[in-house]
A and B are shown apart, each in its own frame.
Chain A
Amino acid sequence: MSFPFRTPARGVPAAAGAVAAVVLLAGCSGGGGSSDNGGEPVSGGNLVYATGDAEPTCLDPHVGGNYPQALISSQYLEPLVSRNSDGETIPWLASSWEQSEDGLSWTFTLREGVKFTDGTPLDAEAVKANIEHAQDPATASSTGYLALRKIKSAEAVDTQTLKLTLSSPDSALLESLSMPWVAIQSPKALERSQEENCAAPVGTGPFVVDKWVKQESVTMVRNEDYSAPPAEGWHAGPAYLDSITWRFIPESATRYAALQAGEVQVIDNAQPDTVKAAEGSDVIKHLDAPRPGASNRLELNSSKAPFDDPKVREAFVRSVNVNDGVSTLFFGTAKRSYSPLSSVEPLAYSDQSLFGYDLEEANRLLDEAGWTARDSAGYRVKDGKRLTLQFPVSTNQSIPAEQSLFEQFQATAKEAGFEVKLNLLDLSSWYGALAENNYNLVSAPYTKVGPDVLRILFHSDSTKPAPSGYFANLSQVKSDELDELLTKASETSEPAERERLYEEAQKIVLEGYYILPLYDQQNHFLYRSEVSGVKALPTVSTPTFHDAWLTN
């Protein structure tokens, strides 16, 4: 993305952490402790959360818009709508809404009496300012920008009524508006410079950003005047916790050791072996919250050789042994996917038959595609060029188990004659490699509520970069037929028709071997038993601590 990224200093603390881990593991046996989460919630205390995701460069999720931003901003910013556990849209900052007959205009009525934590009232002008902020190229938004793409204009009809005019009907509008990347911030705060707003965005949420010590932690304190919980699921009134310390511990063994030692109470991006270990523990509990939208998948860059040839794409997919690796590396915590969509999406379409591991078939396809010769190292060559695949891996976005899985792909693909070059990169270098089209394979998480994520990921429009510089269509599929299906589906609110169109679209993506689905985007949280009321939002599965409380 074009906004400046800071490379987190990894490793040096990690080395120290490895030593600490040994000491801690040695000292941690049994432990006992009650896992009884019943009883009345008590107020007070500071919760320490340790995230393994990259430290955001900006705490305002409009800017850029990645999952680390969603994780933290869910504590202090709130969107217009939410979902309940059945997947139905429920009111949050908007109390009701209505769509015009032609689907081209939407009217939202906003909740009365809600104030941002800087005292500014939540009104139609405020929401209008937010939509314009996310759409402004100067904001350099990616996720929010794409989610709001069809909104042509916003207009304040009266103080609490907002009218949105769309360029074409958008069946995914409510899903898009439920996401943290388009959460509503104080318009007064947005008027500050981007640097200031990034450091401490102002919202309506249960916590307020207090202090950000770079490369260490963000401190958030309770919003004492909190009054705007979503329509279902949250208790009324302010949060129970006094404050949250949001720490950045990128190294997974260190993070887990800190949890075991009680130094932190909640961690994300838990390694599968530790998730497995938590199953039998009274002290550590597990929350599994698979992310909606896309499944976790490898994208095969079809815009350049060798993956511009569908036969080579299929050969690669056939040549990697996914299932054996997933079952040993993930200890049964991840289920193999055969769909472009997450298993939590009701419209996900799977086709297992396309993705069997078959070395013979891979070899046959490569021979057919003209990659017949092999060099001394055993890799296939054609016209003097080796069958090499560049595979940049973001170490901030994949846990070690996943990196090991990619190493296994590298080993099995080699048998068919592919040379896979794994490049482990920090997030900013990784974005750089994508922007330069310097990749043949990539695994890029993309979280969005609802099947409209297919349009973001596979419509040819998404090969053009958003203002942030990021483009989401990383397999770079450009198909008129697919574009038409996805556009139609995004304009159709008739459920059966929508389902049919998305199914067709998923078939094209799967049968064209543009992606290799792996599993749902893993989102495992571990927390100590003294924390009660930890839950994930049913929108993009970010954890929320409004209902959380600590017992001692």
Chain B
Amino acid sequence: MSIFSSRRSHRDPALAARFPGLRGLEIAAAAAALFLVFAACFPTLLAPFDPLAINPADAFQAPSAAHWFGTDESGRDIYSRVVHGARPSLLIGAAATAIGLGLALLLGTAAGLGGRWLDFGIGRILEVLFALPGLLLALVFIAIAGPGITTSVVAVGLSTAPGYARIIRGQIAQVRSSPMVEAAVVLGRSPARVLGRHILPNALAPVFVLGTLGLGQAVVWASSLSFLGLGAPPPAAEWGAMLAAGRTYLGTAWWMTLFPGLAIVLAAACSTVLGRALQRRAVSR
């Protein structure tokens, strides 16, 4: 890793020169991400209306000065619902990623350090899980555990874990055989100290990059589950659920689908752009 990184760092300015918009894009993504996080923390400061307040008389209003994103079939303000939808969507995404990474860390470390048979066993289990598409794995879990927010968090987390686990295992195996670790072992450091001081810090840098990239994917998956009616129960303002409600009226009230859809795209795009930026920095460090 260190050999490659020194070479990469020389190419960095050239990369920036070839894509002058890159930094601008990163700044925009960071700003949008901050905005989303702000919306998730303090939705009432941004949303003019109660996201759950119905008003049948105002149903199906097109975007206007009063309702920036229009209203839905029950006369609820879509802008307010999109803002309030940031919290469940981001929370589900973050929690699912945390579960996925945590589980992966456990499996990956065990496989990377636990000896040949454990490595073999975990490796085969991961391969079996890889054989199933992630979303299918999540659906299977929901079919067993029943729909709801908690289950969809766990489901998305579980289905992302195999990918992370495999990468972590590779990193750990690589760092483990590095001269630095061998030196520590020769010097008689305790296994816990070798793991905590030498292996994990060096193996985990890519994990944060993966986590940032994965966050966007987790948001998309969580929205997909809600879209299928397996996530947040009604009347929750959740992007995927709003998308599902809107598609019925796609021909007459496009705004019901467009804006929650844009929010999902925005969240996923931000996390991808930021993840890539982190990745470049991690590599060039």
Interface residues of B in 233-252 (CB under 8 A from A): 233-235, 245, 247-252
> Within 8 Å CB of A18, what residues of B?
247, 250, 257
Give the distance to chain A from B146, nearest Cβ to Cβ, in Å. 8
Once bound together, how far apart are the Cα atoms of A498 and B126, in whole Å? 70
Once bound together, how far apart are the Cα atoms of A424 and B148, in whole Å? 10
Residues A21 and B251 in contact, CB atoms below 8 Å apart: yes
Interface residues of B in 187-215 (CB under 8 A from A): none
Residues B73 and A329 in contact, CB atoms below 8 Å apart: yes
In the complex, what residue of chain B is closest to A12 when comparing beta carbons? B228
Once bound together, how far apart are the Cα atoms of A424 and B236, in whole Å? 13
Is A124 part of the contact surface with B, judged by Cβ < 8 Å? no
Once bound together, how far apart are the Cα atoms of A400 and B227, in whole Å? 13
Once bound together, how far apart are the Cα atoms of A423 and B53, in whole Å? 20
> Within 8 Å CB of B181, what residues of A?
none
Residues B53 and A411 in contact, CB atoms below 8 Å apart: yes
B48-64 vs A, Cβ < 8 Å mask (1 yes, 0 no): 00001110110110000
In the complex, what residue of chain A is closest to B52 when comparing beta carbons? A411
Residues A408 and B251 in contact, CB atoms below 8 Å apart: no
Is B5 part of the contact surface with A, judged by Cβ < 8 Å? no
Residues B73 and A401 in contact, CB atoms below 8 Å apart: yes
> Within 8 Å CB of B248, what residues of A?
252-253, 271, 273, 400-401
Is B174 part of the contact surface with A, judged by Cβ < 8 Å? no
With known contacts A400-B245, A407-B235, A422-B233, A325–B228 Cβ distance under 8 A: no
Is A321 part of the contact surface with B, judged by Cβ < 8 Å? yes
How many of chain B's residues have a CB under 8 angstroms from any CB in A?
Answer: 26
With known contacts A273-B249, A400-B245, A424–B229 Cβ distance under 8 A: yes
B127-164 vs A, Cβ < 8 Å mask (1 yes, 0 no): 00000000000000000000100000000000000000
Is B178 part of the contact surface with A, judged by Cβ < 8 Å? no
Is A233 part of the contact surface with B, judged by Cβ < 8 Å? no
Interface of B is mostly: loop
Residues A324 and B57 in contact, CB atoms below 8 Å apart: yes
> Within 8 Å CB of B227, what residues of A?
11, 15
Residues A328 and B57 in contact, CB atoms below 8 Å apart: yes
Once bound together, how far apart are the Cα atoms of A403 and B241, in whole Å? 13
Is B9 part of the contact surface with A, judged by Cβ < 8 Å? no
Among B74, B235, B251, chain A packs the most CB atoms within 10 A around the CB of B251
Once bound together, how far apart are the Cα atoms of A324 and B75, in whole Å? 11
Once bound together, how far apart are the Cα atoms of A424 and B232, in whole Å? 11
> Within 8 Å CB of B247, what residues of A?
14, 18, 21, 253
In the complex, what residue of chain B is closest to A276 when comparing beta carbons? B252
Return the contact of A412 from the options B54, B228, B252 (Cβ within 8 A).
Answer: B54
Once bound together, how far apart are the Cα atoms of A12 and B233, in whole Å? 19
In the complex, what residue of chain A is closest to B224 when comparing beta carbons? A15
In the complex, what residue of chain A is closest to B248 when comparing beta carbons? A400
Q: How many A-B residue pairs have CB under 8 A?
A: 83
With known contacts A408-B54, A411-B235, A422-B234, A329–B59 Cβ distance under 8 A: yes
Once bound together, how far apart are the Cα atoms of A531 and B32, in whole Å? 53
Once bound together, how far apart are the Cα atoms of A412 and B56, in whole Å? 11
Residues B54 and A395 in contact, CB atoms below 8 Å apart: no
Once bound together, how far apart are the Cα atoms of A395 and B251, in whole Å? 22
Is A305 part of the contact surface with B, judged by Cβ < 8 Å? no
Is A42 part of the contact surface with B, judged by Cβ < 8 Å? no
With known contacts A18-B247, A253-B250, A324-B56, A410–B235 Cβ distance under 8 A: yes
> Within 8 Å CB of B252, what residues of A?
273, 277
> Within 8 Å CB of B257, what residues of A?
18
Interface residues of B in 110-126 (CB under 8 A from A): none
Residues B233 and A408 in contact, CB atoms below 8 Å apart: no
> Within 8 Å CB of A327, what residues of B?
56
Among A10, A271, A407, chain B packs the most CB atoms within 10 A around the CB of A407
Residues A411 and B74 in contact, CB atoms below 8 Å apart: yes
Once bound together, how far apart are the Cα atoms of A448 and B74, in whole Å? 32
How many residues of A sit at the interface, in one of the four size bands? 35 or more
Once bound together, how far apart are the Cα atoms of A271 and B235, in whole Å? 20
A235-275 vs B, Cβ < 8 Å mask (1 yes, 0 no): 00000000000000000110010000000000000010110
> Within 8 Å CB of B251, what residues of A?
21, 25, 253, 256, 273-274, 277
Once bound together, how far apart are the Cα atoms of A277 and B248, in whole Å? 14
> Within 8 Å CB of A508, what residues of B?
none
Residues B228 and A11 in contact, CB atoms below 8 Å apart: yes
Is A421 part of the contact surface with B, judged by Cβ < 8 Å? yes
Once bound together, how far apart are the Cα atoms of A424 and B245, in whole Å? 13
Is A404 part of the contact surface with B, judged by Cβ < 8 Å? yes
B215-235 vs A, Cβ < 8 Å mask (1 yes, 0 no): 000000000100111000111
Is A138 part of the contact surface with B, judged by Cβ < 8 Å? no
Is A157 part of the contact surface with B, judged by Cβ < 8 Å? no
In the complex, what residue of chain A is closest to B136 when comparing beta carbons? A12
Return the contact of A423 from the options B54, B60, B224, B233 (Cβ within 8 A).
Answer: B233
> Within 8 Å CB of A12, what residues of B?
228
B247-265 vs A, Cβ < 8 Å mask (1 yes, 0 no): 1111110000100000000
Residues A11 and B57 in contact, CB atoms below 8 Å apart: no
Once bound together, how far apart are the Cα atoms of A406 and B74, in whole Å? 10
> Within 8 Å CB of A15, what residues of B?
224, 227
> Within 8 Å CB of A329, what residues of B?
56, 59, 73-74
> Within 8 Å CB of B229, what residues of A?
10-11, 395, 424
Return the contact of A404 from the options B52, B53, B73, B250 (Cβ within 8 A).
Answer: B73
> Within 8 Å CB of B249, what residues of A?
273
Residues A10 and B228 in contact, CB atoms below 8 Å apart: yes
Once bound together, how far apart are the Cα atoms of A139 and B247, in whole Å? 40
A380-411 vs B, Cβ < 8 Å mask (1 yes, 0 no): 00000000000000010000110110111011
With known contacts A273-B249, A329-B59, A404–B74 Cβ distance under 8 A: yes
Once bound together, how far apart are the Cα atoms of A187 and B252, in whole Å? 51
Interface residues of A in 323-345 (CB under 8 A from B): 324-325, 327-329
Once bound together, how far apart are the Cα atoms of A321 and B57, in whole Å? 12
Once bound together, how far apart are the Cα atoms of A12 and B224, in whole Å? 10
Return the contact of A407 from the options B228, B234, B250 (Cβ within 8 A).
Answer: B234
In the complex, what residue of chain A is closest to B243 when comparing beta carbons? A18
Once bound together, how far apart are the Cα atoms of A422 and B247, in whole Å? 20
Give the distance to chain B from A220, nearest Cβ to Cβ, in Å. 29
Give the distance to chain B from A270, nearest Cβ to Cβ, in Å. 11
Once bound together, how far apart are the Cα atoms of A285 and B227, in whole Å? 31
In the complex, what residue of chain A is closest to B57 when comparing beta carbons? A324
> Within 8 Å CB of B60, what residues of A?
328
Once bound together, how far apart are the Cα atoms of A105 and B234, in whole Å? 53
> Within 8 Å CB of A408, what residues of B?
54, 56, 74
Interface residues of A in 301-326 (CB under 8 A from B): 321, 324-325
> Within 8 Å CB of B54, what residues of A?
407-408, 411-412
Once bound together, how far apart are the Cα atoms of A11 and B234, in whole Å? 17
- Some 23 contacts from A to B, beta carbons below 8 A apart, are A10-B228, A11-B228, A11-B229, A14-B247, A18-B250, A18-B257, A253-B247, A256-B251, A271-B248, A277-B251, A277-B252, A321-B56, A328-B59, A328-B60, A329-B56, A403-B234, A404-B73, A407-B54, A408-B54, A410-B235, A411-B74, A411-B235, A424-B233
Other A-B contacts than A324-B57, A407-B74, 5 sampled, CB-CB below 8 A, are A12-B228, A21-B251, A273-B249, A411-B74, A411-B235
Closest 7 CB pairs of A and B: A11-B228, A324-B56, A400-B248, A328-B59, A411-B54, A18-B247, A328-B56
